[in-house]
Amino acid sequence: MREIVVHTLREKAVPVEELNRLIWTSFEQWTSIGLYVPLSDDAHFANYIKSRVVFIAEDAATGELLAVHTLKLNKRKGSVWGANLAVSPTAKNEGIGTRLLQEEIVQLRQRGYRYISERTGFPATWSVRWHLKNGYRIMGYGRAPKENYPSYKFRKQFAYDLRHHPSDFFWLPYVAPVTARLTYAFTFLATRLCKKRNGELNGLGRFAKRLRR
């Protein structure tokens, strides 16, 4: 097993072009079956990561860039939104993504964050398996605009703060299975009733959105 070193982009600068190229290369498996990847040119990607923390994994011996993961932090909620976890084709099936996630969680817990959420399309069965293997729970169903496929929303709770966030009770290990099933059922029903197949709101969805304002 090769040794890796994990940094944030703020700790060690890596050219945006190199990061974006790795993500596109890694996500060829997605684009080959028609899944939408929310990335475009280097300028767009550079703007995208300005408001995110980017973790990178490098080969400890050679310095080769092996993996990238972008995280959107919400300090008030103590939550993290993860996206674009990409592993170099030269490092597939070596557990690099899992080891990167484990190091991220160590650092995020130290900063006071409690859980990470991610989303992946149904057809990306390899991604669904990876999330479940790494302790994520399926807790949501949805369709985003411009996407022609449904997706799962995952949540991985790695810390609890019942004093300041009482809702963490519902994600304790013995309660979380029920919570995840109920939230999935609710979001499944809401999506089917309020959204078209392309992810856009239908008439009922627009009416419900106005009521929530």
Instruction: Name all domains of the chain by residue range, CATH numbers in brackets.
Output: 4-187 (3.40.630.30)
Task: Give the model's pLDDT for residue 174.
Answer: 96
Pick the closest to residue 51 from 87, 17, 9 (CA basis).
Answer: 9
Instruction: Give residue 128's pLDDT.
Output: 94
Q: How far apart are the C-alpha atoms of 152 and 121, rounded to whole Å?
A: 6
**45, two tokens:** 């990607």
Q: What distance in Å separates the CA atoms of residue 129 and residue 136, rounded to the nearest whole number?
A: 10
Q: Tell me the whole-structure pTM to 2 decimals.
A: 0.90
**Regions of the chain with pLDDT less than 70:** 36-40, 145-148, 213
DSSP string, 105-122: HHHHHHTT--EEEEEEET
Give 76's Cβ-side CA count (13 Å radius): 0
pLDDT at residue number 38: 54
Residue 208 pLDDT: 80
